[in-house]
Amino acid sequence: MTKLFLTTALAACMALPAVTAVAATPAPGEKLAAQQSYNYWLLDAIKTLDPQKNTDREGSDVINQLFEGLTGQDAKGAIIPGAAESWTVSDDKKVYTFKLRDAKWSNGDPVTANDFVFAWRRLADPATASEYAWFAELANIANAPEIVAGTKSPEELGIRAVDDHTVEVTLSAPTPYFLKMLTNSSLFPVPQKVVEAEGDSWTQPGKLVGNGAFKLDSHDLGVQLTLSKNDNYWDAANTILTDLKFTTVNDVNAALTRFQAGELDYSEIPAGQYPRLEKEYPDAATVSPKACTYAYILNLSDKGPEALKDKRVRQALALGMQRDIVVNNILQGGQKPAWTWTHWAMDGFVEPENPYAAMTQEERTAKARELLAEAGYGPDKPLELSLQYNTSEDHKKIAVAAQQFYKQLGVNITLNNVEWKVHTDKMQNQDFDVARYAWCADYNEPSTFLDYFRSTGKNEGRFANAEYDAALDHSKTAENPAEDYRKAEAILAEEVPAVFVYQYASVAMRNPAIKGVPLENPMNDWYAKDLYRVEQ
Amino acid sequence: MFGFILRRLAVAIPTLLLLIVISFVLMHSAPGGPFTQERALPPQVLANLDAKYGLDQPLAVQMWTYIVGILTRFDFGPSFVYPDLSVNDIIAQGFPVTLTYGAIGFSLSVLFGVILGIIAAIRHNSWVDTLAVGVSIGAQVLPNFVIAPILVLVFTLWLRWLPGGGWGGWPYWVMPIIALTLSHMASIARLTRSSMLEVLGSNHIRTARAKGLSESAVILRHALKPAMLPVISYLGPLFVTMITGSVVVDMYFSTGGIGRSFVDSALSRDYAVMMGITILVGALTIFFNLLVDVLYAWIDPKIRY
């Protein structure tokens, strides 16, 4: 743990230059490299560069360089002005007015309020069929649900251009995290003229026009993308990197080898290899928080096993999960044991006291046996459950370990390994006992996790608790929502709709010559305009 | 001969149609769909997607639209997973890649495989034979997912001679070709060797030797052609397999080839891409099997259609 702390602290120091300012700012004494390039690793082919159609992390990593939303993030993930230079909020917290800065698209056209209006309507429009249309609903933009459902026209969306430089957004309800949601690519502007002229293929090199600090030069599907500095970007004078390359390497181990060969400036560290790499490359092996939580969801629906309807059984399962072994012996990469659903690094999250977290594992195991016995399970009547997980070496390791942990409580776990789509399909049809799951934050605030377990949330295990829903409803308008979040987490700890296993960390090899990497931002968003390469 | 080719081509059409129908039905009966995700999409969003891609239509209607699209516009539809691209785009980007490394790899494995097999057969039971057999068994049991990382370790990390992956000029081709070629070369060598041994023991070779022909004339003029028959029937499907790529090669070297897209599209239920590549592989297989049959008749005068 100390080691982890030191690494994080070190990382924090490294990230300092970018904290104080928006753009890349070399520290005194740092000598910039002649070649200002950054070669970033991608696991997969980029599915789309269309901001409104993108749904994944790696797509965002590229789109964040090509486009800019109304707001941006500093090195710690705090909201800073982006395409909007300032904004005001109405007293009822439902109307946001953004003042756009003088900025240009990469083809030289001015960025206007209408580009945002066009993009947002496009997101909600059923004709676009965006998988992220729900994000407009989540942001509570007025009329979004009706437009997605096709009962209102996209023109009725709660966004309008007051003039070329003013965007006014109307929400259906106060949404405390609204400004944070604007850093998601689905709410980025797109150039109406280009999109309408080129159709679905407007994102191809040569056609794509963006308002970000970089522009697209080439895109070989599943091989690489190259970007170069956009001289029309409003802050181009303070952008130091000139060339970005995103290289797809489908195998994590191959990516690591290529990092070591100097072909990549960033690659992920495969599970279990962090301790070794940290010794060999102390300057390059990094650990930083990543806003995802890994859990075993318990099926509480009518289709679920009878045993799981007993709270004591669920509590016993939560206690019997030996998180320290998972984190320290299996993953070994700075992950943290999860006692809450919300990731520890979320902005505005205060972890509630959990008596179980303070116990030793022996005490927890003893308590778990006690609870199971009370619920009527024991050596003569062992509890039988199946644990479903999708194909992956890491999921398998954890599942096999879990099987052993629960065996110690006299619970027999059958492992059920299925292909990804089958896993998802079964979960969404409540066809499982216990199933592996992970949730990642959409924006840097606890509600992005907690909304999952609302009775109306995604909530594959069909947990329903009126008190929980009420706490979250209250949080939306509360002066200090942290208290509501603490209460909600306390309910989850007591009711155990899922066994929380661990909270993610981003464990990566990073070339120490690249400075300004925002390691403290749990959203893992990074903006190449804030980075620079120093002479080594 | 012409009649034979025409007949075979006529059979190819219903075969392909059958392939389309079976693949289409099998694919749609697998659980989940292209838009099944870890975080379930709200029903309205899903409905919009289904409507856009025609997934809300009955299966028979979808299949009909699909086949009509191919026949009238040579349009294999839009990808469900890559919204900016059509299936034609994806194949147009990925097929030239696998065609390049596959065709070169094929030529090399045939060339070296046949030479190795012949040498082993001629020097039957000598140390040369033992060595050739040993090498080919070695190459065959070493799967490409073991060879690929070793190649990258040696040529990229230690020697720094070759890029560890990606696609571009010839330096990018070397490792994928080696990884793809070795085991196929070994199979061809072993097949050639055993077939050659059989031919060398036959009557017409004994006659040729009795006439006093030189050993090279016996091998090249009289033994090679009949010995190649079983090899050629193996090469037709092998060529198709190789030019449509290997998932291991594509994944490990990130070549962007369609070998990877094929497996990925099945896993992500990208129906259109999967159908497109299935049809491509199917059509190529039918064509090259036909080519093999024609070659047969040319090589072996006993075979007439």
Pairing of strands A434-440, A383-390: parallel
Residue of chain B minimizing CA distance to A222: B256
**Contact status of B88 with chain A (Cβ, < 8 Å):** no
How far is CA B282 from its chain centroid? Answer: 11
Q: In angstroms, what separates the C-alpha of A437 from chain B's closest C-alpha?
A: 8
Residue ranges of E strands in A377-519: 383-390, 411-418, 434-440, 498-510, 514-515
Residue of A nearest to B41 (CA): A131
Q: Which two tokens stand for residue B39?
A: 């975080």
- CB-facing half-sphere around the CA of B54: CA atoms within 13 A: 15
Residues of chain B with pLDDT under 50: none
Give the Cα separation of B26 and B6 in Å (integer): 31
- CB of A245 within 8 Å of a chain B CB? The answer is no
Is B125 at the interface with chain A, CB within 8 A? no
Distance from CA of A115 to the nearest CA of B (A): 20
Smallest Cα distance from A233 to chain B, Å:
25
Identify which of B38, B42, B85 has the shortest CB distance to residue A134.
B42
Tokens of A234: 């409003």
Look up the pTM and report it. 0.88
pLDDT at B38: 73
**Residue to test with chain A: of B153, B254, B263, B270, most A Cβ within 10 A:** B254
Q: Report the alpha-carbon angle A497-A502-A504, nearest 5.
A: 125
Measured between alpha carbons, how far is A185 from A183 in angstroms, rounded to an integer? 6
Smallest Cα distance from B182 to chain A, Å: 20
Closest by CA position to B175, among listed B143, B142, B151:
B151
- Identify the pLDDT of residue A523: 93
Instruction: Kindly determine whether residue B156 and residue A145, on different chains, have CB atoms separated by under 8 Å.
Output: no
Of A513, A509, A510, A511, nearest to A32 (Cα)? Answer: A513
| Residue type for position A517 | V
Q: Which residue of B has its CA nearest to A199?
A: B84
Q: Which of A50, A131, A254 sits opposite B165 (nearest CB)?
A: A254
Return the beta strands (E) in B89-229 as ranges: none
Contact B31 A421 (CB under 8 A): yes
- Other CB atoms within a 10 A radius of the CB of residue A162 amount to 12
Q: Among all residues of chain A, which has the CA nearest to that of B37?
A: A424
pLDDT tens digits in sequence order for chain A, 536 residues long = 333 433 344 333 333 333 334 678 888 888 999 999 999 999 999 999 999 999 889 999 999 999 999 999 999 899 999 999 999 999 999 999 999 999 999 999 999 999 999 999 999 999 999 999 999 999 999 999 999 999 999 999 999 999 999 999 999 999 989 999 999 999 999 999 999 999 999 999 999 999 999 999 999 999 999 999 999 999 999 999 999 999 999 989 999 999 999 999 999 998 889 999 999 999 999 999 999 999 999 999 999 999 999 999 999 999 999 999 999 999 998 899 999 999 999 998 988 888 888 899 999 999 999 999 999 998 889 999 999 999 988 899 999 999 999 999 999 999 999 998 899 999 999 999 999 999 999 999 999 999 999 998 889 999 999 999 999 999 988 888 999 999 999 999 999 999 999 999 999 999 999 999 999 999 999 999 999 999 98
CB-based contact, B146 to chain A, within 8 Å: no
Both tokens of residue B121?
A: 């057969």
Its sign, for the CA torsion A262, A268, A271, A273, is: positive
Q: Please say whether the beta carbons of A245 and A225 come within 8 A.
A: yes
